[in-house]
Amino acid sequence: MSAGGGPGKSGDVLTPEQRSRCMSRIRSRDTKPEILIRRALFARGYRYRLHDRKLPGRPDIVFPGRRTPDAGR
């Protein structure tokens, strides 16, 4: 038996169309908290790279010379 109580039910209260619309609005980049952190860091003279694909997990902000990733979600 699945979590929804019956065979084949997912337990989701939204229709697939509603779930798709909700999920399409969730962003992984350029969120408001991330932009606020980036502006503050830049104003203080810190320089960084964004979403470095070479690192595991692709952190939001990477300070290349410092080896300090930051996930600002």
3-class secondary structure for the chain? CCCCCCCCCCCCCCCHHHHHHHHHCCCCCCCHHHHHHHHHHHHCCCCCEECCCCCCCCCCEEECCCCEEECCC
**Residues 39-60: tens digit of each pLDDT:** 999 999 999 999 888 888 888 8
Residue 25 lies in a domain: yes
Residue 23 lies in a domain: yes
Q: How far is CA 27 from CA 5, 22, 37, 52, 65, in A?
A: 31, 11, 16, 17, 28
**Count of domains in the chain?**
1
Question: In this predicted structure, what is the pLDDT of residue 20?
Answer: 93
Position 2 confidence tier, pLDDT thresholds 50, 70, 90: very low
Amino acid of residue 58: R
- 61 contacts 38 by C-beta, under 8 angstroms: yes
Average pLDDT, rounded, for the chain: 82
